[in-house]
Each structure stands twice: as structure tokens, then as C-alpha cells.
Amino acid sequence: MSKISPPELEQLLEGDDRIHVLDIRPRETYQQSHIDGSRNVPVYDDLRAGDDSKLRGSLSRIPDDTTVVTVCKAGIVARKATAVLEEDGYDAATLAGGMRRWRGYQNGSLGYRLRAAVGGLLP
């Protein structure tokens, strides 16, 4: 299963690559803050409970001719969404660290910079 870092996602969003950002968090959370251009399919609670039926029922709304990057709060539940998409033949990846890491990256927070530095040094 693939992961993508915030800088990699930003580069894809700014480039010519076709990318679809699928935010699975609850609608209210998505409305408070989200990645520009992302689409919300609020299946976080269902996937967390082990039920992927709502996501599978929404696949027709997700383009299958592009890379899909799944997003949740911290990236854990989004991995389940990525697995469902990959099972169905999608080119999918999870945003590593989810919206927490995305916001840290966007804000240039010290925590993000430290994690990125340590992550670059460790195998």
C-alpha cells in the first residue's frame, strides 16, 4: 500500500498530474478544514468500525482514471480506504500523517520539521 508525503502531494496538486484527493472524515470536520480541491465521502466512522460498504457504494463517484489520495485525521483509517480502492483496481495512496501532518507542513510547524528531519535520517 502506497503512502504519499505532504510535500509530494502538494507537488502533484501544483503539477499537471491528474489527482483526486478523497477526504473520508465526517462532513462537519471536512467543512472546518480541508485540502483545496478535495472531495468528501464521509465514511471515516464506518471504516473505523470495519464496515467498508458505504465506501464501496460510493466508488462510482470516484474517478478511476487518476491517482486517488485518501485523507483522514492522522492517516490510519485512510489506509483502510486506500486498501478498498486498490482492491477495486484504483491507483491509490494514503496521505501520510493525514490532515494533522498536512496542516503542520502547510504551517511550517516545528513538530513537522522535526518529524521530517528524523524521518529522513532513519531507515
pLDDT at 123 (0 to 100): 44
One-letter amino acid identity for 91?
Answer: D
What per-residue confidence (pLDDT) applies to 122? 43
Burial of 33 (0-12, 13-18, 19+ CB in 10 A): exposed
Q: Is 8 strand, coil or helix?
A: helix
Going from the N-terminus, what domains does the chain have, and what CATH number goes with each? 2-121 (3.40.250.10)
- Please choose, from the candidates 80, 23, 29, the residue with its C-alpha nearest in 3D space to the C-alpha of residue 52: 80
Note down pLDDT in tens along the chain; length 123 residues. Answer: 699 999 999 999 988 678 999 999 999 999 999 999 999 999 999 999 999 999 999 999 999 899 999 999 999 999 999 999 999 999 999 999 999 999 888 876 666 666 666 565 444
Q: Which residues does 64 contact at the CB level (< 8 Å), separation at least 6?
A: 89, 90
Q: Give the rounded distance of the alpha carbon of 55 from its chain centre.
A: 14
CA 95 vs. chain centroid, Å, equals 4
Q: Is the pTM of this model over 0.75?
A: yes
Residues pairing with 76 in the sheet: none
